[in-house]
């Protein structure tokens, strides 16, 4: 009986510790850290979402097939009820919102905004209530090959002010 009690106590304390780690983890984006002058590259974006999904059970991250670049296409889902699998996502009666980012290399505004949106929702109880009956689905970067080849000449004529 003592062993069972100790095991349950350990599990409880570990779960409390995980919640504290999520609260202490810095989810400030590169865009915010640089005062809007920088945006993350592909690997940094995916790493951000992996960390967010590992820290908050309302965020699920899926690989939904390979792209022409050989990298997986990702789908990030916010679900206020916690983790969701792809079958449940398809059959859900909740409102579904799809945000598709990074269709062209150098189009970073949506990528940055989506990272901040999902982070803000999971860290704010009133926002969680706002999206109680919604699934927010985000494709972090659609054109992965373009994102991997992004350079100073991508979208060179785009007004960045």
pTM for the full predicted model: 0.79
111-125: pLDDT as tens digits: 999 999 999 999 999
User: pLDDT tens digit string along 19-50?
Assistant: 554 556 899 999 999 998 888 999 999 999 99
Per mean pLDDT, which of 83-87, 94-98, 145-149 is the most reliable?
Answer: 94-98
Which CATH architecture best describes the domain 2-148? Answer: 3-Layer(aba) Sandwich (3.40)
For the segment 74-80, the average pLDDT, to the nearest whole number, is 96
Question: In angstroms, rounded to a whole number, what is the distance separating the alpha carbons of residues 100 and 86?
Answer: 17
pLDDT of 153: 60
Cα separation, 6 vs 137, in Å, equals: 40
For residue 155, the model assigns a pLDDT of 57
Mean pLDDT of the chain: 85
**161 has pLDDT over 50:** no
Residue 48 burial class via C-beta count within 10 angstroms: exposed 0-12, middle 13-18, buried 19 and up: buried
Task: Name the DSSP letter for residue 155.
Answer: T
Closest CA to 87 of 77, 97, 72, 98: 77
Q: How far apart are CA 41 and CA 53, in angstroms?
A: 19
10, 12, 19, 89 from 15: Cα distances, Å: 9, 5, 6, 26
């Amino acid at each position: 009986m003592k062993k069972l009690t100790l095991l349950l106590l350990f599990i409880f304390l570990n779960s409390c510790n995980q919640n504290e780690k999520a609260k202490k983890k810095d989810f400030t984006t590169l865009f915010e850290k640089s005062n809007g002058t920088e945006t993350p590259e592909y690997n940094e974006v995916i790493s951000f979402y992996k960390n967010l999904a590992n820290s908050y059970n309302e965020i699920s991250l899926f690989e939904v097939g390979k792209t022409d670049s050989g990298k997986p296409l990702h789908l990030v889902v916010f679900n206020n009820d916690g983790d969701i699998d792809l079958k449940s996502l398809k059959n859900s009666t909740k409102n579904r919102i799809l945000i598709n980012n990074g269709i062209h290399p150098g189009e970073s505004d949506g990528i940055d905004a989506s990272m901040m949106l999902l982070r803000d929702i999971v860290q704010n109880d009133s926002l969680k209530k706002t999206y109680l009956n919604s699934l927010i689905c985000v494709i972090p970067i659609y054109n992965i090959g373009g994102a991997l080849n992004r350079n100073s000449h991508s979208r060179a004529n785009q007004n960045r002010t």
